[in-house]
Structure 1
């Protein structure tokens, strides 16, 4: 049964609605609002193509493209491709195009900062609808976004960066599932709490693994964690807050290609003695790496950089600084014999 679209209604994967005589299928689960009607929120809804035969309406959907056989046969499993094995991956995420978008955005241009674009190009993107799809994403509440804290130019810069990350993440994920891994580790786009097989564990809580995530936020690509047990599936740490993110990337890879390296205090890459896995960046371009630390009798993944005094992990609504001096950490460190005399560990390539 297909129902009419209504505001103040929770819509989930698989839902199809009718609005103004046309059918739309869900792209991103959300609770609808009066100003989020399907035609104006392509980040939330995708119009279902329709055929007509003798006055009878028939709905059809484009077939899902199956991954090509690339001949790559690793000794470890990356799990099922999109749409199989219970893992849900919406392969149109990042491709959103507003109905009024008339301006094309080239691949090279997506790598530029909003503030590096000319005023003429910014106007073209605004008038031509190049920012509208990203604005819909923000309006849908993908990330904690406080409009009152930003001026109009910052909002545009945020929108530009967010939609470009979504596009790059989607392209990277499609290439991975179609051709197999091209490197020891790969970031793939995930929605909700369905973690793909092959995800690298970054910690453990109550006997359950916690995985490594990242997502765009406030001009940077921030590091966090993912788990089926989290409210939205993923969280990142930023500004001393734990931020829920229902759309994020998870790190997949060959567990034999990486290892955790103990470290203490401010990170020094020369002293680390190994090449860390770069996971993200701050808004100013500072690289962020993947850290792992103990907190509250569990192990959590988080972030570290050469400009931070220690590692930080998202937990309990905040970011926790990991220090060996924390008594609760000392107990579990002695029990697990993992971080004796060290604050945290850094994920590095072998």
Structure 2
């Protein structure tokens, strides 16, 4: 099973992998935090001290985050794929309090590409945004693989 590498958040580590962005193009990173008995996924920015996760209908801010670094255990940099009704080869990045696997997810909303979580029995991904837990039905999940020319969601960064 392929796993994602996370490192404790103490400011932005050089190996952190950009995975999303705000409407104003501030970069977002996949965050993982222990909360409510589980290990939940959300987002963090270089200028934040805590991570935002979707939980219980709210955007919850949690200290003590970890951030996904640029590699998966298979050596690939990871790609974001649309799940086909099952997790397929999606990378397990966390879990609910009962042990149910959670996957890193990202979805477009309000001009940004926001990070959150998905479970195999959900039809939408949960993202933290504007104080709420939002459910977005068009999303992708972190999977093994390598983009040849970089993540296509970041085309706006190219000259």
TM-score by length of 1: 0.38
Aligned position for 1:346: 141
> Which blocks of at least 5 consecutive residues in structure 1 are unaligned?
1-182, 324-342
Report the Cα offset of residue 246 of structure 1.
Answer: 2.4
SS at match of 1:283: coil
Q: How far is the alpha carbon of 1:222 from its aligned partner?
A: 0.7
> Any idea what the Cα deviations from partners look like across 1:267-323, whole Å, max 9, x if unmatched?
413xx4xx2121110011100001110111100111001122211111111111113
C-alpha distance in structure 1 between counterparts of 2:32 and 2:93, whole Å: 7
Structure with higher Rg: it is 1
Q: 1:319 and 1:229 mapped to 2: Cα distance? A: 22
CA distance, structure 1, for counterparts of residue 111 and residue 14 of structure 2: 26
1:221 pairs with 2:39: yes
**Higher fraction of helix:** 1
Structure 2 gap segments, 5+ residues each: 146-159
Q: Determine which of 115, 118, 122 is the counterpart of 1:304.
A: 118
Structure in which a larger fraction of residues adopt strand: 2
**C-alpha contact (below 8 Å) 2:53/2:62 kept by paired residues:** yes
SS in 2 for 1:228: coil
What is the CA RMSD across the aligned residues, in angstroms? Answer: 2.0
CA contact (8 A) 1:204 1:299 kept: yes
**Secondary structure of the corresponding residue to residue 143 of structure 2:** strand
Q: Does 1:289 align with 2:103?
A: yes
- Map residues 238-249 of structure 1 onto 2, 5 A cutoff: 238-249=55-66
1:273-284 equivalence runs, <5 A: 275-284=89-98
Instruction: Give how far 1:184 is off.
Output: 7.4
The count of residues paired between Structure 1 and Structure 2 equals 140
